């Protein structure tokens, strides 16, 4: 058996997944109360019941995401996990891996090594999560975080940034789920942390 994902990475991954799910579904309910664009999310895919309930779920999930994310980043920096898994990365390698992925020719034999497309996606997801938290703070407390909101184009700019970061993170999750369905062994390794060697297709 080959070790693929440390326990800390696995636990923080699943907590992040749950926190993001709650934040997105409650966030859609909050969005519906004051839409930015000419559409609303169906009530069936929102949570919170009403605006105040959605806000409570949203903020609760936000603090879980922040604390859990800090644990993941601290572990990644101290252990070298982020440096070893995410770097180095180059635009050429990223473009090549994305092209191979679209043609279904991207290798997944060694799950302990991220390809350039995965590195870019995971780093992008981290950046989107940071953008969500910062823009969310600017929306939540626009007076107290006035300087932060000003960097985003004030309150409305922060709302737009928050929305587009959410959309980017949802897109990442959808692509991530599709890739897991195409390579099922990645799901098991995120639970057990290990992969049986000599079984590249299991």
Range of the domain at 70: 2-195
CATH code of the domain covering residue 138: 1.20.950.20
Neighbour tally for 135: CB within 10 Å: 25
Helix (H) or strand (E) holding 77: helix 51-79
Residue 202 covered by a domain: no
CA dist., res. 85 & res. 160, Å (int): 32
pLDDT surpassing 60 at residue 105: yes
The total number of structural domains that make up the chain: 1
CA dist., res. 132 & res. 91, Å (int): 25
DSSP state of 199: -
Residue 33 covered by a domain: yes
* Banded pLDDT at 107 (limits 50, 70, 90): low
Residue 200 covered by a domain: no
Residue 76 covered by a domain: yes
Residue 57 covered by a domain: yes
Burial of 110-124, coded b for 16+ CB within 10 Å and e otherwise, reads: ebeebbbbbbbbbee
CA dist., res. 192 & res. 178, Å (int): 20
CA dist., res. 167 & res. 24, Å (int): 9
Whole-number pLDDT of residue 202: 42
Residue 201 covered by a domain: no
Q: Which residue in this structure is represented by tokens 């994310």?
A: 69
Lowest mean pLDDT among 34-38, 92-96, 131-135: 92-96
pLDDT digits (tens, 9 = 90+) for 34-86: 999 999 999 999 999 999 999 999 999 999 999 999 999 999 999 998 888 88
């Amino acid at each position: 058996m080959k070790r693929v994902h440390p326990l800390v990475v696995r636990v923080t991954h699943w907590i992040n997944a749950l926190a993001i799910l709650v934040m997105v579904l409650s966030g859609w309910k909050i969005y519906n109360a004051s839409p930015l664009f000419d559409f609303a999310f169906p009530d069936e895919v929102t949570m919170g019941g009403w605006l105040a309930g959605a806000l409570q779920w949203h903020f609760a999930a936000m603090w879980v995401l922040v604390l859990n994310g800090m644990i993941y980043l601290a572990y990644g920096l101290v252990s070298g996990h982020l440096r070893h898994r995410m770097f180095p990365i180059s635009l050429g390698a990223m473009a090549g891996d994305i092209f191979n992925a679209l043609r279904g020719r991207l290798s997944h034999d060694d799950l302990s090594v991220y390809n350039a497309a995965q590195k870019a996606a995971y780093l992008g997801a981290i950046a989107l999560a940071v953008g969500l938290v910062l823009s969310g703070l600017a929306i939540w407390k626009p007076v107290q975080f006035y300087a932060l909101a000003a960097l985003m184009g004030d309150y409305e700019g922060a709302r737009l940034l928050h929305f587009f970061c959410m959309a980017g993170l949802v897109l990442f999750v959808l692509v991530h789920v599709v890739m897991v369905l195409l390579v099922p062994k990645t799901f098991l390794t995120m639970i057990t942390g290990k992969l049986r060697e000599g079984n590249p297709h299991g």
